[in-house]
Amino acid sequence: MSKQEVEEKIIKLAHEFSAKYGEDVLHLKVDELIMYLSSYFDYESWLIFKHNQYEMIKLFVETVKQDLNSLNK
């Protein structure tokens, strides 16, 4: 899996998370987000995620926020 594919999976997970849990992501700590997201990757993909974890977490949180903002409009 490439970095772009991992990012696409992060975005997909963010959409699913926002639909299921809403604003709960705003209350999670970084280590909780890492554990949540890590559970969705095989070892190769996890290595890519881990190497870029703060960028990936930022992408996840921003995507969830965008989803929430679009629901509030």
State mean pLDDT over 27-53. 94
State mean pLDDT over 42-50. 96
Considering the entire predicted model, what is its pTM? 0.88
Q: Where are the domains of the chain?
A: 3-67
Kindly calculate the radius of gyration of the chain based on its CA atoms and give it in whole angstroms: 12
Mean pLDDT across the chain, nearest whole number?
91
Centre a 10 Å sphere on the Cβ of residue 62 and count the other Cβ atoms it contains: 12
Confidence of residue 73 (pLDDT cuts 50, 70, 90): low
Confidence of residue 21 (pLDDT cuts 50, 70, 90): confident
Whether 71 has a pLDDT exceeding 80, the answer reads no
